[in-house]
A and B are shown apart, each in its own frame.
Chain A
Amino acid sequence: MRIFRWRAIGPLLVFTLLAGVLWVLLADRIARRAAEEIGTAIVGAKVEIQKLHIDLTNGDVTVRGLTVASPHEALKNLFQADELTADVAVLPLLEKKVVIDRLAANGLRFGTPRATDGRVPGDPNASVSGRVMGEARDWAQRFQVPALQLATGKIDVGTLDPRRLSAIPAAGALSARADSSRRAWQTGLDSLRLAATIDSATATLTRLRGARATDLAALSDARRAIEQLKQARGRVTALERGVTGGLAALRAGVAGLDSAKQRDYAFARGLLKLPTLDAPEIGLALFAPSAVAQFQRALYWTQLARAHMPPGLLPRAEQGPPRARRSGSTVRFPREHALPGFLLRTAELSFQLDPTAPQPKRYAGRLTGLTSDPSLYGRPTLFEASAPAVTAGAMLDHVHATARDTAGATVQGVRLPLIQLPSLPIGLDPGQGTAQLGFALRGDTIRARWAIRSTHVQWSRDSAAQRSTGADLLWRTLSGISDLQVDAGVTGTLSQPRLSVRSNLDAAIAARLRTMLGEEAAAAERRLRAEVDRQVDPAIAPVRARVTALQTEITGRLAQQRARLDQAQKDLESRLRELTRIRLP
C-alpha cells in the first residue's frame, strides 16, 4: 500500500493557488477589518477605516479615511486622518511582528463631530480599555466636589432624626429619676413614724393637763415625749436635707434639659446644607467637573499606554483574538535583542487643531519609539509638536520598572470649549483663549495641572431654568466679567489625590453669595429650631412639670409634719412650764 496519494498534488496546488488568489483579492479587506477590530479594542471606541491597501513587495501600507471615535464623548471623534502611509518592514511580519520604520500621517483633525455614538462599552473584566476606563472613572469619583446651590436659591434642610436629639433621652432619664426620688422620699417620710410620735405626745399632753405638780411620773412622761418629738424633728431635718439635695439635682437636671436642647439646635444647624461661602471651595464647585474630566482623560490614556506598553521582559498574557471559539489568552514572550511585537520608529504628523476655523492652521508633529515592548526598544516614546502658538510634548518612559509618563501642551488662540457651570443656569463660552495641560505620572504619584485663560468671555443664561433672586443677582455679577482665568491641579497619589481649583470668579461669587444667602440661612435655621422644639418640647414639658410638682409636694408635706411636731412640742412645754414654773433647758 502506498503512503502518498500523488494524484492529490494537483488539486492541492489548485487549492493553494486559489487561497493565494483569495489572499490577493481579500488581503486589504481582511487587514482593514483586523485593523479596525484591534484599534477598537485598544482605544475603547470605534476605529473606522475607509480604505487600506497593503503592498508587501514594497513594504507599504496605506490607510485612507481613518476615523477614531472618542471614548469619552458620544458624538465626537478623537481624531480623523486623511491618509496614513507606513513603511513596514516585511521580514518581521514572518515573526508576526509589525515594525513600521516611518509613518506619515496627513490631514489629522482633532475633536471633529460624528453622527453616531462611537463609544464601545468594554467589559471591565474582559477588555483592557474597559478596565482602564472603569479605573479612571472610579479615580475621578474620589474627588468630593462641593455643590453650589444657587439655581433655586434654596438651602436644603436635612432630615431631623429624633433619635439623634439628646434632649429627648435626657428628659426620659430625668423623669425616671424624679419618680425614683419621689418613691425614696415617700419611704423616708413613712419611716419617720411621725404620726405615732405626735399621737403619743398628744396623749401625754392630755394626761398632763389633769396632773399635778407632784405627779412626777406624768412630768417624766412629758419630758420623754418632748425628747421624742425633738428626735423626730431631727429625723425630719435630716430627711429635709436629703430632699433639698435631691430637688437641687432634679432642678439641675431640668436646666440640663435646656442645655441638651441647645445642643440639639446646634446639631440641627449642622444639618443645614449651606452653600460654601469660601472662595477656594467656590472654584472647586464651579470648575472641578471640567478639570477632573481633563485629568480623567489624561489618566485614561496614560494607563492605557501602560497596559499596552508594559515595562519588563517577563511573559505576559493578554486577551486572545475574538472568534467563534473561546478567545483564551495570547501570551507574549519578549526576548532581549529581539524585535518588539510592535514598533513605530518614526511618525511625521501633519494636523489641524481648529478645523472649523475659517482658515485652519496646519501644524507638524513627530512621534518616535512607540512600541509594545519598551524594554526591548530601550528608549522612551517621545512626541513633540511645536509651531507658533502651539507647544506640545509627551514622554512615555516604560523602559524601567517604574513607569514615568509626562505630557504637556499649551495651545494659544484656539476656540475653548463651552463650560456649563454646575448647578447654575449659566453657561460660559470662553471663546478663543489659551489652554494648558500638564500631566505627570511617576509610578502612582500624580502631578497634573489644567489652566485656561480668556479675555473675551461670553456668558449665556439658560432661559428654560427656573428664575430666582439668587440666580438673578449672580447673573448680574458674572455677566459683567469678561476675563477668565482658571487654574486646576491634582497632586498626591492615585489612591489619595488632592484637587485644587482657583479662578478669578471665586471672590466675586463668594461676596455675592454672602449677601444673598444670609437671610435665607437665618430662615432655614428658624425652621430647624421650630422642628427641634416640636420634637423635644413634648418630651421636656411633662418632666419639668413633674419635677416642679414633686418639689411642691414634698416640701409641703415636710413643712406640714415639721409644724405638727413643733406644735406638739410647744403645747407640752407650755403645760410643763405651768406645772413646774420652771423653764426647761
Chain B
Amino acid sequence: MLTLVKLLQSLVKALHSEGTPGQLAAGLALGSILGLTPLLSLHNAVVFALIVMLNVSFAGAMLGWALFVPVGFLLDPLFDHIGHQLLMHTPALTPLWTAMYNMPVVPLTNFNNTVTLGSLVTSLVLFLPFFYLFRWAVTRYRATIGERVRQSKWYRTVTASKLYNIYRLFRPEA
C-alpha cells in the first residue's frame, strides 16, 4: 500500500513539476532502462549517474523505474530470447563479444548474460520512442486536465509531505 502511495506521489509530483515535458520524458525514459534491465548491473550505475547528473526529472526517472520493473519481469522470456540470439546465433557479433569479454571492466556489466543483454538492447532501442511518447503524453496532460488536478485538495496534501522537500533538491532546473 505504501509503495502504491509513493508511486502515486511520484506520478503527481513528476507530472506537475516545474520541469519541461522533455525533462520529464527524459527522466522516464532513463528510468525505464533501470526497470527493464536487471537492477544490479554495472550499466545501471552509469544510468543512475546520468539521472543524477543530467538536468532531467529525477522523480520521472524513479517513476519510470517503478513502472517498468513489472514490465521487465513480464518480458524476461523475450529478453532471454533476444540475448540468446545476439550472443549465440549471430556469428558476425562473436568477435565483438569475444573482445568485450576479454576486456577489463566490461565483463563486470554482465553483458554476456542473455537476459541482461536482451533487456539492455531492448531498452536502448526503445529509449527514443519512449522519450517522444512520454513528452507528447505529458504535454497533452498538462494542456488538458493538469491544471484542475493542481487545484485539487489531495494534490496539495501530497506536495506538502516531507518527501517533497527531498524531491525539490533534484527537481529539474529551468
A interface residues with partner B (beta carbon < 8 Å) = 1-5, 8-9, 11-12, 15, 91, 94-97, 315, 317, 320-321, 323, 325-333, 335, 338-339
Contacts and interface: CB of A to CB of B under 8 A. Distances in A.
Contacts of A317: 84, 87-88, 114
A326 B40 CA distance: 13
A317 B101 CA distance: 13
B149 interface: no
Rank and list the top 3 A-B pairs by shortest CB-CB distance, nearest first: A328-B115, A326-B76, A96-B107
B170 A8 contact: yes
A325 B174 contact: no
B83 interface: yes
Given A94-B105, A328-B114, A1 B97 contact: no
B114 A323 contact: no
Given A328-B83, A333-B94, A338-B102, A3 B55 contact: yes
Contact of A95 (B53, B103, B118): B103
B133 interface: no
Interface string B57-98: 000000000000000110011011001100110000010011
A339 B101 CA distance: 11
> Counting chain B CB atoms within 10 Å of each CB, which of A91, A96, A317 scores highest?
A96
A15 B112 CA distance: 28
A95 B102 contact: yes
Contacts of B112: 330-333
A2 B38 contact: no
Contacts of A1: 20, 55, 173-174
A339 B94 CA distance: 18
Contacts of B53: 4-5, 8-9, 12
Contacts of B174: 1
Interface of B: 20, 38, 40, 49, 52-55, 72-73, 76-77, 79-80, 83-84, 87-88, 94, 97-105, 107-108, 110, 112-116, 118, 169-170, 172-174
A91 B107 CA distance: 13
A327 B174 CA distance: 42
A3 B116 CA distance: 29
A331 B88 contact: yes
A331 B84 CA distance: 9
A325 B102 CA distance: 26
Contact of A5 (B20, B54, B94): B54
A95 B87 CA distance: 18
A122 to B, nearest CB: 20
Contacts of A9: 53
A275 to B, nearest CB: 55
Contacts of B52: 5, 8, 11-12, 15
Given A94-B104, A325-B38, A2 B55 contact: yes
Nearest to B96: A333
A4 B169 contact: no
Contact of A329 (B102, B105, B114, B172): B114
B72 A333 contact: no
Contacts of A95: 102-105, 107
Contacts of B79: 326, 328
B97 A333 contact: yes
Given A315-B97, A332-B112, A335-B101, A326 B49 contact: no
Contact of B113 (A4, A330, A335): A330
A325 B76 contact: yes
B170 to A, nearest CB: 7
Given A315-B88, A331-B87, A333-B101, 20 more contacts: A3-B55, A5-B53, A5-B55, A95-B102, A95-B107, A96-B107, A96-B108, A320-B115, A323-B40, A325-B38, A327-B115, A328-B80, A328-B83, A328-B113, A328-B115, A328-B118, A329-B84, A333-B102, A333-B112, A338-B102
Contacts of B118: 328
Contacts of B105: 94-95
Nearest to A327: B115
A417 to B, nearest CB: 43
Nearest to A313: B98
Given A1-B174, A5-B53, A11-B169, A315 B107 contact: no
Contact of B101 (A12, A323, A326, A332): A332
A402 to B, nearest CB: 24
B48 to A, nearest CB: 9
Contact of B114 (A12, A96, A331): A331
Contacts of A8: 52-53, 170
> Counting chain A CB atoms within 10 Å of each CB, which of B49, B83, B97, B114 scores highest?
B114
A134 to B, nearest CB: 24
Contacts of A3: 54-55
A326 to B, nearest CB: 4
A469 B116 CA distance: 70
